[in-house]
Amino acid sequence: MKDPLVLGFVLVMTDVVLWRAAFPRNDTICLLLRLVIFALLSALLFESALSPFTPAPWPESPGRHLAAQIIEVSWWLIGARLLTLSLDAVFRSRHWHKERLFQDVLGALVFLAAVVASLAFVLGLPVTGLVATSGALAIVLGLAIQSTLSDVFAGIVLNTTEPYHIGNWVSVDGVEGKVLEMNWRATHLLTSQGNVVIVPNSVAAKAKITNSSRPVALHGVSITLQISPEERPATVLGALERAIEGSSMVLQSPAPYTLVKKASINAIEYEVTVYVDDIGKSVVVTNQLYDLCHRHLAAAGIELWPLSVPRPPRHDAADSRQRLLSHVELFRALKSEEVEALSKRLSRHEYEADQVIVKSEEVTDYLMIVESGVISVMVAGPSGPVESARLGPGDSIGEAGVLAGLPVQAQVTALTRAIIYRLDKTDLTPLLKSRPEVGQQMCHLLSQRQDSLRKLNTEIPVPVGTEHTLLDWVRAGMHKLHDLTT
C-alpha cells in the first residue's frame, strides 16, 4: 500500500494548484472538482488513522509527525474554503456576490473557526488559554485599528439595512455617483465625470443618503428661474405649465407642478418639478425644460434678461412675426428685407385645447409656425397612431407642403390653447420666381430632411434611390406647385 502521507500531499497540492490556476474556468465545475478532491482526502485520512479530530500520530518520528500535522491542518483549511464557496454558490442572491462585505466577514469567521479547531484537535493546544490571550490581544488591536473596525461594523449595518444596492445612483456625503462596489471598508462610487470616489462605510452610515434609483422607474427633475417682479405670477405660471406640456419625456403621474418658491424686490423665483422614468433622462429633460421655458415665456411676452440692467423695449407684433419666420430653417438663406416682406403675409389663427389643426388625410400647401402653445404631431405606426413630436413656440411644420406640395401625412392637434401663423404657397411663389437660386437651396435642404424622415419612417414614402433622385423629385414638386418655368 502506498504511503498515505505521500497521497495526502498529492491531493493537497492538487487542490492548491486548482485554486491558484482557477481551473477549470467554470466556477461550478471547479467547485465540484475540489469537493471530489476533498472527499478523497477525507477518506484517505480516516482510513489511515490520520483523523483531523485527533492529534497527529507517530510522535516518535518527528518528520512523519510534522507531515501528518501539515496534512490534517490543510484538511481544516481546505474544508473552510470549500464551505464558504458552497454557501456563496447556494444561498446568496446575485447582487450579494458583488457586495463583498458579507462574503469577506463570513469567510473570516469560517477560517477563524477552522484555525481554532485545527489548533485544538491537531496540535492539542489548550483553546481556553488561547481564547483568553487572543481576547487581550483583540482589545489592544481593536484600539489600534479603531477607525477600520468602525468601517467594518458600519458596513455590516449598511448591508443589513440596504439603503442602496450595486448599480444604484446615490448621493452620499455630498458625492453623487453610481454604486460600483460595497466591501468591508468602503463604498465605491462612479461619478458622472468618470472618477471613482471611495466613501468609508463609517462616513456613509452617518451621512444623509439620497438614492435616486428608488422608487424604481421614478426620478424627479427640478429647475428654478428668476423672473422680474413686474411680471404677473399667473402669467408666468401659465407659460411654465405649457412648457411642461411641451416635453413628451415627462411622466403624467406623479403630476408635474410649478410654484412660486420665494419673492423679493428684485425677482420672483419659480420652481418647475417634473418626473421621468429613468435617471439617465434627467440631464436631457433638464436641458429641454430650460429651452421650453425660455420659448414659452418669450411667447407670453416675458423676456429673460439680467435683473441688474434696465428692461429692453418689448417687441411689437410685426417684429415677433419676423423673428418667428427667421427661425425657420427653410428661410435662413433669405435676406432680412425678404423675411420682413414674407412676415407681413403671415395670417394668425387661434386654436383651443384638443382642437384638430390638420387631419392625417388632409393635403396642406401652407407652412405653420407656432407662436404660442403646445402642438402634438401624430403619425401612423405599426400598432396605431404614435406621437412623433411636440411643437412649441418657434417650431414649424409643413415646409414640404408650402415648397413642393408634399403632404404632411400626420394629424396635428393643439394640446393647449395655441396661436399659429400660416404662410400660404401663394405668398411664397413671387419670391421663388424672382430668385430661382433661393428655390434651389430650399430644395437641397428639404431633400436632405425628407431623406432623414423617410429613414425614420415618420414622413411620407419617397422614391427610393440616390439623393440626386430625391432632389429631382422635390424640385419637380416645387415647379409644379408654384408654376415655375425653369
CATH 3.30.70.100 domain position(s) in the chain: 219-299
More confident residue, 286 or 159: 286
Q: Is a pLDDT exceeding 60 seen at residue 319?
A: yes
Q: Is a pLDDT exceeding 90 seen at residue 247?
A: yes
Place 459 in a pLDDT band, splitting at 50, 70 and 90: very low
Place 142 in a pLDDT band, splitting at 50, 70 and 90: low
C-alpha cell at 400: 414640404
> Quick one: how far is CA 142 from the chain centroid?
42
Mean predicted confidence (pLDDT) in 207-236? 88
Highest mean pLDDT among 5-19, 268-282, 331-345, 422-436: 268-282
Could you tell me the CA-to-CA distances from 45 to 69, 75, 77, 183 in Å, in that order?
A: 11, 9, 15, 37
CATH 2.60.120.10 domain position(s) in the chain: 317-482
Contact call for residues 91 and 102 (beta carbons, < 8 A): no
Name the average pLDDT for the chain.
81
CATH 2.30.30.60 domain position(s) in the chain: 163-211
**219-299: what fold?**
Alpha-Beta Plaits (3.30.70)
Structure confidence by residue, pLDDT tens digits, 32-48: 888 888 888 888 888 88
Of the candidate CATH numbers 3.20.20.80, 3.40.47.10, 2.60.120.10, 3.40.50.280, the domain formed by 317-482 belongs to 2.60.120.10
Mean predicted confidence (pLDDT) in 169-185? 87
Mean predicted confidence (pLDDT) in 412-431? 90
Lowest mean pLDDT among 154-168, 200-214, 428-442, 450-464: 450-464
Lowest mean pLDDT among 244-258, 261-275, 447-461: 447-461
More confident residue, 226 or 461: 226
In the prediction, which pLDDT does 479 show? 82
CATH class of 163-211: mainly beta
Q: How far apart are CA 126 and CA 119, in angstroms?
A: 8
Structure confidence by residue, pLDDT tens digits, 126-141: 766 666 666 666 665 5
DSSP 249-311: TS-SSSPPEEEEEEE-SS-EEEEEEEEES-GGGHHHHHHHHHHHHHHHHHHTT-----TTSPP
Structure confidence by residue, pLDDT tens digits, 388-400: 889 999 888 888 8
Structure confidence by residue, pLDDT tens digits, 4-29: 888 888 888 888 888 777 666 777 78
In the prediction, which pLDDT does 317 show? 59
**Beta bridge partners of residue 422, listed in sequence order:** 347, 368
Q: Is a pLDDT exceeding 80 seen at residue 362?
A: no
In the prediction, which pLDDT does 374 show? 94
The two most distant CA atoms of the chain are separated, in Å, by: 119
Contact call for residues 64 and 5 (beta carbons, < 8 A): yes
Which pTM value belongs to this model?
0.62
Highest mean pLDDT among 49-63, 237-251, 322-336, 357-371: 237-251
Residue for grid cell 430650399: 442
Structure confidence by residue, pLDDT tens digits, 71-120: 888 888 888 888 888 877 765 555 454 455 566 667 777 878 888 888 78
Angle at 419 between CA 361 and CA 439, to 5 degrees: 65
Q: Is a pLDDT exceeding 50 seen at residue 460?
A: no
